């Protein structure tokens, strides 16, 4: 086998593995209870584009072949709807990966507690130090815009400035990461934080950590990472 054909074969194997990891991530979202049915979507950077889950296919029916590839320079009004249509939310996946070179994967969920807060158009404030896992003193809520629209993507990018997660008003959650494992972990952590905040709010407005206290945690998290041990993913 020549060097060129060997490299091509290796690239195909890597893409197949990435497609399989996207399918696994979508199924894990269901198992964790942070997504259901055909809601939510997953993408990962691949070559000069992205791989993304298709439109209207539930996680348990996904296959490696069903995952759709799109170029990063695809226009917002491009006719991308082929036999295998990408998720209707492909615009914010494209825009996040194009704007954030450090991001390798994007996970979007409709998890219940976080979406309940987003319905009220509220941020998740610094009630717990793990809010800092998203990069700051809150998990912002982006303004409402119609699903799949460029306006929604623009709002999401603004809410994600210096953050790795945000809420979408009346919609759900976006979490990003260096890879799929990190993005999935953070999406689940956002739901845990949302549940804690809703529970704590039953006793009155929760006391919040100061910006200085959160900044110290953000600094500590910069030297921590998602570790893999015996097949289990752990957060900071």
Q: Which of 21, 28, 89, 191 is catalytic?
A: 89
**pTM for this predicted structure:** 0.91
Average pLDDT over residues 37-64: 95
Alpha carbon distance 160, 162 (integer Å): 6
Band (232; pLDDT cuts 50, 70, 90): very low
Quick one: pLDDT at residue 233? 47
Quick one: pLDDT at residue 229? 46
Alpha carbon distance 31, 28 (integer Å): 5
E strands, the chain, where? 41-46, 49-52, 68-71, 105-109, 124-125, 138-139, 141-142, 165-168, 172-177, 227-229, 232-234
Domain 3-234 in this protein, CATH class: alpha beta
Long-range contacts of 27-34 (CB under 8 A, 24+ apart): 27/59, 27/60, 27/62, 28/184, 29/59, 29/107, 29/109, 29/184, 29/187, 30/59, 30/60, 32/188, 32/191, 33/111, 33/112, 33/191, 34/109, 34/111, 34/173, 34/187, 34/188, 34/191
pLDDT at residue 230 tops 50: no
Q: What is the pLDDT of residues 138-161, one digit of tens each?
A: 999 999 999 999 999 999 999 999
Quick one: pLDDT at residue 112? 98
What's the token pair of residue 129?
């130090």
Alpha carbon distance 233, 203 (integer Å): 33
What's the token pair of residue 32?
């964790």
CA 10 vs CA 15, 64, 158: distances in Å: 9, 17, 37
Q: What is the pLDDT of residues 119-137, one digit of tens each?
A: 999 999 999 999 999 999 9
Q: Based on the residue annotation, tell me whether 21 is a catalytic residue of this protein.
A: no
Alpha carbon distance 233, 177 (integer Å): 14
Q: What is the pLDDT of residues 64-120, one digit of tens each?
A: 999 999 999 988 777 766 567 999 999 999 999 999 999 999 999 999 999 999 999
Domain boundaries, the chain: 3-234
Q: Which residue has the higher pLDDT, 65 or 7?
A: 65
Find where tokens 């717990």 sit: 128
pLDDT at residue 216 tops 50: yes
Rg (CA), the chain: 18
Q: What is the pLDDT of residues 169-211, one digit of tens each?
A: 999 999 999 999 999 999 999 999 999 999 999 999 999 999 9
Quick one: pLDDT at residue 157? 98
């Amino acid at each position: 086998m020549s060097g060129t054909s060997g490299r091509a074969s290796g690239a195909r194997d890597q893409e197949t593995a990435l497609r399989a990891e996207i399918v696994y991530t979508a199924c894990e979202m269901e198992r964790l209870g942070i997504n259901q049915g055909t809601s939510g979507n997953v993408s990962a950077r691949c070559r000069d584009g992205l791989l993304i889950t298709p439109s209207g296919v539930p996680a348990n029916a996904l296959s490696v072949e069903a995952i759709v590839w799109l170029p990063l320079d695809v226009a917002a009004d491009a006719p991308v709807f082929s036999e295998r249509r990408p998720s209707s939310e492909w615009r914010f996946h494209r825009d996040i990966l194009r704007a954030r070179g450090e991001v390798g994967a994007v996970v979007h969920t409709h998890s219940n507690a976080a979406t309940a807060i987003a319905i009220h158009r509220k941020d998740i404030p610094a009630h717990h130090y793990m809010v800092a896992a998203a990069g700051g003193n809150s998990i912002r809520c982006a303004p409402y815009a119609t699903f799949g629209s460029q306006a929604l993507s623009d709002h999401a990018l603004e809410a994600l400035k210096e953050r790795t997660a945000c809420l979408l008003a009346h919609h759900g959650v976006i979490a990003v990461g260096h890879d799929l494992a990190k993005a999935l972990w953070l999406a689940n952590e956002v739901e845990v934080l949302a549940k804690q905040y809703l529970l704590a709010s039953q006793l009155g407005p929760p006391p919040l950590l100061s910006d200085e206290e959160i900044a110290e945690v953000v600094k500590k998290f910069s030297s921590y990472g998602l570790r893999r041990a015996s097949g289990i993913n752990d957060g900071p």
